Amino acid sequence: MRAAPLQFWPPTGGRQAQAGSAGASLLFAGLSEEQFTCATSCLGIQAFSFEKDEQVLACQGARPHYGVLVSGTGFDVRQHPNGDQTLVDVIEPGDLFGEGWQPRAWAAPEVPRERAVIGATAGTVLLLDPARLSDPTVACPAKAIVHTNLLNSVLHKQERLRTKLEILRHRSLRGRIANYLLVESQRRGKSQFTIPLSRGELAQYLHADRAAVSRELARMKHDGMIDYHRNAFALRDEQAVATASE
Amino acid sequence: MRAAPLQFWPPTGGRQAQAGSAGASLLFAGLSEEQFTCATSCLGIQAFSFEKDEQVLACQGARPHYGVLVSGTGFDVRQHPNGDQTLVDVIEPGDLFGEGWQPRAWAAPEVPRERAVIGATAGTVLLLDPARLSDPTVACPAKAIVHTNLLNSVLHKQERLRTKLEILRHRSLRGRIANYLLVESQRRGKSQFTIPLSRGELAQYLHADRAAVSRELARMKHDGMIDYHRNAFALRDEQAVATASE
DNA sequence: TCCTTCCCGTTGCCGTGGCAACGAAGTTGC
DNA sequence: GCAACTTCGTTGCCACGGCAACGGGAAGGA
């Protein structure tokens, strides 16, 4: 990961519903360009670029950081000792990540931590030091705003985790897939959309087998519910998809 | 739910690791009794008692509230149109709940919201109004502390959701059960413990069938991994349980 | 005490989906 | 253009677990 030029991140409005869409970051919402520039020095915000499959942030890092994705896509993954990993969440531009990582990693830096954020594509991030944010001696006009935004960002992330739990509640694979496609369609606001996951990654996200996902997708296409090719999906019978996800 | 006498809630230390244990609340950590009393008026903190199966908090409420459980046990549930519900999380004394409920419920108060906190046993709660907390005209010495504590509480809750996702990653029911028992054992700090869930509730938490859970528990007992009777569990072969949860 | 109700254990059935293996198609590098 | 590699689709096998039904035991109320 290499340092990258730091430029003004356009904060738009601050409506939580808009968070996650490209061009908006809930964490820096409501900041003027002047305040943002101030924050970069006061709060030690730095920009970095990363490559695909590169580890963007890990528990084993020198110290915990908050990150905001500027461009590209990231995966919030959990790696297990036996080699396989689960995909907890997809991180898109504007999203916060790395929140809540306790500095317990300090204790055992030699153990490769099981939690990490890796690059799904190449991209850039902003990293900021939570210690600077909670340090009372740091007086910055932007700090209060960022602090409030941070709470909203964390709540937004929690909402995403609850959405994933909602997807995972289905006992049938068809229900999980239908729910995922419905959520993804609503997020994009279209019935035709492309997903940021490959088949194998989708299986990891749905906690299922890749072959089984392919098989069930083929069945759903055969039943006329959906259509797809690679990462491009279309909801043919939206009502049927909604019914399948109960 | 009826109003209940409001008394000083003993805040202990503020170490996140202690949060969730009886007698400590991360949200009010670091407050003196004087500050706590001040906060009750400034932030509009009120105490209520609730009964078993009573709805403690729901999205359809007049306005969003944060809650802290004082005594008893609560369930963070998600109710689905077809009647069944999933158990998202168990709320124990000191835990925050109701965070992040958007006031979108205002828009459609007639629809029974799918998300709620219900009483698993009778108990008491403290409710506070987030609007008062974010209102800049309210000047209270305790506000800053509570605001910081709120962020930590939300992060702590997120950690619990991630733990549940970790339990749910297992494709086999035995893996999920083993992981749950391991987590519960670590939380209690003992290899003998009682769980706050009935069989049916445990099945709802694990996103599985009640009969299947009973069957798999019987197999694990037969294999010498665990022992149990009703809600009382004991890890016989802790190594085997750990292996089953990978 | 008796009755009702709820919760838990058990079991047979069988469908869903995990697993492994293979082939096709797309991608990258030389 | 060819080869090595990766990703996706497909399929057979069969075990795990969902579902339904039943029975027993504990709990609560009259």
For residues A200-228, average pLDDT: 95
Residue that finishes a domain, picked among A106, A132, A165: A165
Domain harbouring A206, CATH code: 1.10.10.10
Is the pLDDT reported for residue A213 higher than 90? Answer: yes
pLDDT computed for residue B25 by the predictor: 82
| B111 and B216 share one domain | no
| B65 and B181 share one domain | no
Selected residue with higher pLDDT from A105 and B179:
B179
Strand order in the sheet with A232-235: A192-194, A232-235, A226-229
How far apart (Å, rounded) are the C-alpha atoms in residues A220 and A240? 10
pLDDT computed for residue A112 by the predictor: 46
Residue that the structure tokens 């305790």 belong to: B142
Residue that finishes a domain, picked among A147, A165, A183: A165
| B194 and B150 share one domain | no
In Å, what is the CA distance from B162 to each residue of A57, A165, A172? 17, 10, 22
3-state secondary structure (DSSP) of residue A16: helix
Please count the structural domains in chain A.
2
| B122 and B208 share one domain | no
| B139 and B214 share one domain | no
Dihedral sign from CA coordinates of A212, A215, A219, A225: positive
| B95 and B190 share one domain | no
For residues A37-62, average pLDDT: 80
Low-confidence stretches of chain B (pLDDT beneath 70) = 1, 7-24, 58-64, 100-113
Estimate in Å the CA A114 to C1' C28 gap, whole number. 31
Residue that finishes a domain, picked among A165, A187, A211: A165
pLDDT tens sequence across B179-237:
999 999 999 999 999 999 999 999 999 999 999 999 999 999 999 999 999 899 999 99
Is the pLDDT reported for residue A169 higher than 60? Answer: yes
| A69 and A145 share one domain | yes
pLDDT tens sequence across A192-202:
999 999 999 99
Whether B129 is covered by a domain: the verdict is yes
For residues A169-180, average pLDDT: 95
| B149 and B181 share one domain | no
Whether B98 is covered by a domain: the verdict is yes
Percent of chain A with pLDDT over 70: 84
| B182 and B151 share one domain | no
Residues of B with CB under 8 A from a CB of A: 16, 78, 80-82, 86, 88, 99-100, 102, 134, 147-148, 150-151, 154-155, 157-159, 161-162, 164-166, 168-169, 171, 207-209, 246
- Residues 6 or more apart whose CB falls under 8 angstroms from that of B222 comprise none
| B10 and B65 share one domain | yes
pLDDT computed for residue B235 by the predictor: 95
Selected residue with higher pLDDT from B137 and A95:
A95
Angle at A70 between CA A67 and CA A71, to 5 degrees: 130
| A145 and A55 share one domain | yes
For residues A106-121, average pLDDT: 64
Cβ contact (<8 Å) for B165 and A88?
yes
pLDDT computed for residue A235 by the predictor: 95
pLDDT computed for residue B166 by the predictor: 92
- Residues 6 or more apart whose CB falls under 8 angstroms from that of A203 comprise A209, A210, A212, A213
Cβ contact (<8 Å) for B166 and A81?
no
Domain harbouring A130, CATH code: 2.60.120.10
Range among A85-99, A209-223, B43-57 with highest mean pLDDT value? A209-223
Whether B16 is covered by a domain: the verdict is yes
CA dihedral A28, A29, A32, A35 (to 10 degrees): -30
For residues A144-162, average pLDDT: 89
Residue that the structure tokens 């499959």 belong to: A53
| B80 and B187 share one domain | no
Q: Which domain holds residue A66?
A: 2-165
Q: Which two tokens stand for residue A194?
A: 């492309």
Whether B163 is covered by a domain: the verdict is no
